[in-house]
Structure 1
Amino acid sequence: MELINPIYTDAAKVEQLAAEFQTSKPYKHLVLDNFFRQEVADKLYENFPSVEKLTKHWKGMNENKSEGSNFSDFDPIFTQVRNEIMSPEFAQWMEKVTGIKGVFVTDDSLGTGLHQGSDGSFLDIHVDFNIHHVKNVYRRLNFLVYLNKNWKDEYGGGMEMWNADMTKMEKVVMPILNRVLIFETSEISYHGYSKITLPPGETRKSFYTYFYTPITDPTILNKYHDTIFKPKPGDSTLKKVGTNTKETLKNFIKGQLKRAGVKF
């Protein structure tokens, strides 16, 4: 793993991280600073594509951000990092650090890509979809690389990590350059970021990777759900009712389609 900061491949360090992952709160996670070699992180930052180069743009009640996995349109450094993260060696490292065996990354937009948010961007608190709706594999881990140089606290944009019953935000991870956040995706891994305030020319940038494991029990497929957004305790009544109604209806429809074998 040539692109990774060598301190993270040291055997003793891996053992330490494995222990930290298992005991972290509010759910299993790690925050790793200076994860890539500095020249790699700088190159990713300097060549991060514009919002216009990304292919998906979400703007609705619960999110305002852009996304793209069209790596052929990006600087080659992004493909180099993608190849590193998708390698068998990196999968083995993730297994040792998290204790989750058999992890892999799908070769599509639900495996790797870029996220970017302009001024006003936000991503409401949510848990992620649990099953890849096409490949029928089980989503287990998020691996997020933040790529924001000179990020200021007043911009906001920290990843909020909430407790299991959505009554308390227990941790905030600021999206600074070359910081990696790894966390287990589960039914209680509530996360997201509040509306950001940015000066002209600044955006919130990250490289995402989702790790999966095979499904050995086919009955799990009947428990499929899409992303589930949850309102915060301080949200307005209108926001709470709108979010809960939308998410219930969305997941009912998608669950029915999934069980019927319809691709969407």
Structure 2
Amino acid sequence: MIDRFLKPEAAQRLADAFPAASDDVGWDQYAAAGLEVKMGTSHEARFPEPLRAAIHQLNAGPFVRFVERLSGIDHLLPDPHLAGGGLHLTRAGGLLGVHADFNWHERLQAHRRLNLLIYLGRDWQPGYGGELELWDTAAKARVHTIEPLFNRAVLFTTRSDSFHGHPTPWSAPPGVERRSIALYYYTSARPEEELRAPHNTLYKGYHFD
């Protein structure tokens, strides 16, 4: 977790450019009650220019090398397709149940290894919900909670037992939304003990207890 991740002026510029729910940026609507209620878009060509430029930098060599040093995972591959990533927006009642992410990128033919989230929603307060929860590898207990504060970045490894989510529904006042950039990084191989058959997102309470 890194607070004040971006230079203040850069964070403000990205927040100002972040599209509204009504903007034509190719929003996908996720509405699986109790599991996933949010909006997301990976249609980069429709992104406002500041966000498109920022994502290019976060997927470029200098930043990828920084993430390799920080994580200790070498030979990382960025995802130019933004599969499952890009821009995320949560409005009133939105949530993301505890889950393990998909583990295999078919187009890249690569293993998903790291998630990077950068929060760009302003004015979060306790009681609004939407905190990121990290759970143990058995998905039995929450072990860490992270508030989605403006200009906070979270980088964490993802495996088939890296359970996380923001299951507390978003309940901020109208106009205050949970907004984030989500980027994922991959490798062509992964440790043998982490290998699992390719799977899509696995939700607690639906795919497993």
TM-score by length of 1: 0.72
The 1-side partners of 2:96 and 2:54 are apart by 25
Quote the offset at 1:51 in angstroms. Answer: 1.6
1:65 aligns with 2:58: no
Structure 2 counterpart of 1:172: 145
Quote the offset at 1:35 in angstroms. Answer: 0.6
Residue 94 to residue 216, structure 1, CA distance change in 2 (3 Å): closer
The 1-side partners of 2:170 and 2:152 are apart by 19
Quote the offset at 1:133 in angstroms. Answer: 2.5
The 2-side partners of 1:134 and 1:108 are apart by 9
1:39 aligns with 2:13: no
- Matched residue count: 203
Of 32, 49, 54, the residue aligned with 2:19 is 49
Name the amino acid aligned to 1:58: Y
1:91 aligns with 2:64: yes
- The structure with the greater share of residues assigned to helix is 1
- Structure 2 alignment gaps of length 5 or more: none
The 1-side partners of 2:177 and 2:97 are apart by 18
Retained in 1: the 8 A contact 2:123–2:176? no
Residue 37 to residue 141, structure 1, CA distance change in 2 (3 Å): same
Cα-Cα RMSD = 2.0
Name the amino acid aligned to 2:145: V
Identity of matched residues, % = 29
Give 3-state SS (helix, strand or coil) of 1:153's partner.
Answer: coil
TM-score by length of 2: 0.90
Quote the offset at 1:139 in angstroms. Answer: 0.4
After superposition, residues 11-160 of structure 1 pair within 5 angstroms as 31-53=1-23, 54-61=26-33, 62-110=35-83, 112-160=85-133
The 1-side partners of 2:44 and 2:19 are apart by 10
The 2-side partners of 1:169 and 1:42 are apart by 32
Residue 222 to residue 80, structure 1, CA distance change in 2 (3 Å): same
The 2-side partners of 1:36 and 1:110 are apart by 23
Q: Select the structure of larger CA radius of gyration.
A: 1
Give 3-state SS (helix, strand or coil) of 1:199's partner.
Answer: coil
Name the amino acid aligned to 1:135: L
Of 175, 178, 191, the residue aligned with 1:204 is 178
Residue 171 to residue 88, structure 1, CA distance change in 2 (3 Å): same
